[in-house]
């Protein structure tokens, strides 16, 4: 029998894998406007998103064992497009959509879900599927 334990209550961080950190930094920092917390060489970029973090890793680097024994993060990585969804009001989505179009980012889809929440889909430079949805999508 397994001992009782409470389920986690929030997602603290989520990761996407990219092949070019310079392009990712220009996209997520300059275009999307996220606050950069840290960049370590060609290994990773970390961005604050509200109370959580978006971690962008170069999969070619993160499959290697860590170089700092004080932080023994196991090797990891993924290949192929991932998915991440930001929360944003419909009004702010409209503003972001105009910004993305002005930067020649193709909008792949935009629609309202049965509960009335709107989602906007596009790709980052690494091919990851990025969504911006109204916060009530999952309520």
**R_g of the chain computed on alpha carbons:** 17
Instruction: Note the pLDDT of residue 44.
Output: 94
pLDDT band, very low/low/confident/very high, at 13 (cuts 50, 70, 90)? very high
Q: How many CB atoms lie within 10 A of CB 6?
A: 5
Average per-residue pLDDT in the chain?
94
Q: Give the whole-angstrom CA distance, residue 48 versus residue 89.
A: 18
The 10s digit of each residue's pLDDT in 39-93 is: 999 999 999 999 999 999 998 998 888 778 888 888 888 888 999 999 999 999 9
Query: What mean pLDDT comes out for the span 3-18?
Result: 91
Question: Tokens representing 70?
Answer: 């004080």
109 SS3 class = strand
95 pLDDT more than 80? yes
In angstroms, the CA 27 to CA 53 distance is 16
Residues 117 and 111: their CA atoms lie apart, in Å, by: 8
Residue 25 pLDDT > 90: yes
Instruction: Name the residue with tokens 């709107």.
Output: 118
- pLDDT of 68: 80
Query: In the chain, what are the domains?
Result: 9-66 (3.10.180.10), 81-139 (3.10.180.10)
pLDDT over threshold 90, residue 118: yes
93's enclosing H/E stretch is helix 90-102
The residue-averaged pLDDT of 1-16 equals 90
3 CB-near residues (< 8 Å, 6+ apart): none
């Amino acid at each position: 029998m397994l001992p009782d334990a409470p389920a986690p209550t929030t997602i603290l961080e989520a990761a996407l894998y990219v092949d070019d950190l310079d392009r990712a930094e220009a996209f997520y920092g300059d275009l999307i406007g996220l606050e950069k917390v840290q960049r370590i060489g060609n290994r990773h970029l970390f961005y604050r998103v509200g109370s959580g973090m978006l971690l962008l890793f170069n999969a070619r680097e993160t499959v290697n064992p860590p170089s700092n024994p004080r932080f023994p993060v196991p090797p990891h990585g993924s290949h192929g497009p991932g998915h991440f969804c930001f929360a944003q009001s419909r009004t702010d989505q409209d503003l972001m959509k105009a910004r993305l179009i002005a930067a020649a980012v193709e909008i792949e889809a935009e629609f309202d879900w049965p509960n009335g929440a709107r989602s906007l889909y596009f790709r980052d430079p690494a091919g990851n599927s990025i969504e911006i949805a109204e916060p009530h999508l999952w309520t």
